[in-house]
């Protein structure tokens, strides 16, 4: 049994995803995953701390890609553009794992404890982005708003990408979500200009 | 000892907040809180399941206020307006407890497990708002974007309200945050119109 062959992590991930689909996430053990991959539990634990990490193992690369992109964005770029461009920089990362992303998304949606972990990871990422924008000289309020608006675009863009029967890129769907956010924010603005809003009371 | 006097819950809350400030949240027990309020532990447990609930006991009223406001918003009002107006409808709720809200906010900010609980409560609330907007006929993407943008406005408005030395209303700060979001989203749009964005590549 080749313990350090380059695709060990991929074999374990594939075995885990098969078993999660066949038996359910809760009913799958690390022993099952290792056996399906033709590896030992010891090998499994060399790559993942537990079965949950099979789903979150890529998060580090994803987060690093985002944070690096925000950090290296030119200061001339508006904060929201810096955040949306950072999301778009993960397009290749996700393109290589569209099938995995679809299965992972469905699994997380049906398990509250996985949703919580995803939520906490995204919140930590958001805090890092806010800090980077503030270092660029953006005010705390604008940094928070750009980060949250960017996350909303990322969330909607990702959901549309996951479901797209035409398999268009994440960047395509991020641009679409961004235009939708502009419409959603602009629509309110228009209503306000027409004096139909009670918020000015 | 009057067990059902009307302000028992307030007395327990006040005692808990005093002790959290004096000894720290982690070092305060339910026994301490009851003793400080001059009540029994048994009485405490009639109002709260644990000491954490002293901080989250008002969440139900807060969430109900928001959800009711979104549900009863006229269909002519744009989705984002419905969400921001719902936040503004909690202005009185918060005005009555500004001192508590300040202490609570500082406590939550310094305890990750409390932050996680707050985050999960807000996410549950967001899901409820998205559903209500979809029932109004808003698309899933626009409902998510309006909800997330509204939460961002709520978050920033609340943070500014908490810190405002002039004690202006939450509604005032929500309106300010909304205008800031319009600027943040519009700034990106302008950059795009000028062709300075690389997102169209």
pLDDT one-digit tens code per residue, A23-74: 999 999 999 999 999 999 999 999 999 999 999 988 888 899 999 999 999 9
Residues of B in contact with A160 (CB under 8 A): 141
- In angstroms, the first-to-last Cα distance of chain B is 73
**Does A16 score more than 90 pLDDT?**
yes
- Which of A 56-95 lie inside 8 A of B, CB atoms? 76-81, 84-85, 88
The pLDDT tens digits for B36-81 are 999 999 999 999 999 999 999 888 888 999 999 999 999 999 999 9
pLDDT at B97: 85
Closest CA to B117 of B166, B55, B44, B159: B55
Q: Which residues of chain B have pLDDT under 70?
A: 1-6, 187-201
User: Span A175-192, mean pLDDT?
Assistant: 81
Q: What is the pTM of this model?
A: 0.85
* CB count in 10 Å sphere of residue A137: 10
Distance CA A189, CA A194 (A): 9
B197 in contact with chain A, both atoms CB, cutoff 8 A: yes
The pLDDT tens digits for A110-163 are 998 899 999 989 999 999 999 999 999 999 999 999 999 999 999 999 999 999
Is B161 in contact with B168 (CB distance < 8 Å)? yes
CATH superfamily for A58-200 is Tetracycline Repressor, domain 2 (1.10.357.10)
| CATH 1.10.10.60 placement within chain A | 2-54
Cβ contact, residue pair B141, A160, below 8 Å: yes
pLDDT at A6: 65
Size (chain A), residues? 201
| CATH 1.10.357.10 placement within chain A | 58-200
The angle that helices A140-163 and A170-193 make with each other, rounded to 10 degrees, is: 130
Which of B129, B181, B196 has the highest number of chain A CBs within 10 A, making it the mutation to test binding with A?
Answer: B181
pLDDT at B188: 53
Residues of A in contact with B184 (CB under 8 A): 78-80, 142, 145-146, 149
pLDDT at B195: 44
CATH superfamily for A2-54 is Homeodomain-like (1.10.10.60)
Confidence of residue A96 (pLDDT cuts 50, 70, 90): confident
Cβ contact, residue pair A144, B159, below 8 Å: yes
Shortest Cα distance, chain B CAs vs residue A38, angstroms: 38
Which of A181, A190, A200, A201 has the highest number of chain B CBs within 10 A, making it the mutation to test binding with B?
Answer: A181
Residues of B in contact with A200 (CB under 8 A): 175
Is A82 in contact with A133 (CB distance < 8 Å)? yes
């Amino acid at each position: 049994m080749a313990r350090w062959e380059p695709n060990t992590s991929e074999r374990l991930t594939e075995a885990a995803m098969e078993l999660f689909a066949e038996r359910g996430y809760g009913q799958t053990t690390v022993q099952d995953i290792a056996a399906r991959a033709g590896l030992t539990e010891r090998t499994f634990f060399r790559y993942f701390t537990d079965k949950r990490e099979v789903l979150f193992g890529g998060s580090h690369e994803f987060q690093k890609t985002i944070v690096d992109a925000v950090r290296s964005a030119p200061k001339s770029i508006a904060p929201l553009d810096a955040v949306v461009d950072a999301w778009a920089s993960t397009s290749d990362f996700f393109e290589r794992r569209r099938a995995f992303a679809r299965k992972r998304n469905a699994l997380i949606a049906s398990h509250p404890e996985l949703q919580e972990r995803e939520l906490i990871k995204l919140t930590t990422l958001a805090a890092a982005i806010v800090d980077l924008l503030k270092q660029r000289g953006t005010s705390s309020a604008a940094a928070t708003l750009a980060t949250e608006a960017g996350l909303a675009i990322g969330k909607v863009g990702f959901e549309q990408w996951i479901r797209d029967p035409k398999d268009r890129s994440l960047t395509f769907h991020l641009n679409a979500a961004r235009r939708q956010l502009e419409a959603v924010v602009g629509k309110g603005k228009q209503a306000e200009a027409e004096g139909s809003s009670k918020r000015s009371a």
